[in-house]
Amino acid sequence: MSPSRPRRLIVVAGTATEIGKTWVAARLLRELRAEGRDVAARKPVQSFDPDDALTDAHLLGDASGEAATDVCPRHRWLPIPMAPPMAADSLGRPPFTIADLAAEITWPVPTPDIGIVECVGGVRSPHASDGDAISLIEELQPDLLLLVADAGLGTVNAVRLSLEAIDRGAHVATPIVVLNRFDPTDELHRRNRDWLESTLPVEVLSSVPAVMNRLRPS
């Protein structure tokens, strides 16, 4: 990673794939830009269905005002829906490491106020030949870690297991749980949130505006 890192570095991870990490990250980027904050988004590697019109890098870049190839280096675009190291092997590309991915992250000049790095899949999903999302978090040492989770059935187990994995990592990032697709009129969603809030030693937020409030200077 380039030495001139953002003033505040945020990593967005998830309890699983298709959980809404990109949606949450893009929404935050748009809200931050609307408030006049300088932002940048990075996705060190992405694998995707080649039939998809837009990749995560396109969506993040559209939100941050950057080119998709600035968000994710073009040689790290893997057009096959598998975990990145598996996709690279299937495509006949050389293996790469977590250190490789981190070293390829470059930030705009001047350095943005906030940089958001989005992981792939869940916290234990392989990102490179030698590591997963936890490994990338350890390498990047972010200031804040957002763990995006679903609000519905199964989320208590998924959140607890993900936080246990995060807690074992060699980093100092503060984790915050973000319940995506939270519906305050849904009893299960409310009970899941209340259960997590009452049993976990971390913040549990249920909307992007709540995350924005957390990011604003006190």
**How many residues can be counted in the chain?**
218
- Say yes or no to pLDDT of 216 above 90: no
Catalytic residue numbers read 43
* Reported pTM: 0.95
Q: Structural domains in the chain? A: 8-215 (3.40.50.300)
Give me the torsion for CA of 44, 47, 49, 54, rounded to 10°.
Answer: 0
pLDDT in tens, 66-80: 999 999 999 999 999
- Each residue of 124-134: pLDDT tens digit? 999 999 999 99
pLDDT in tens, 10-21: 999 999 999 999
What tokens appear for 69 in the block?
């190839």
Residue 171 confidence class, pLDDT cut points 50, 70, 90: confident
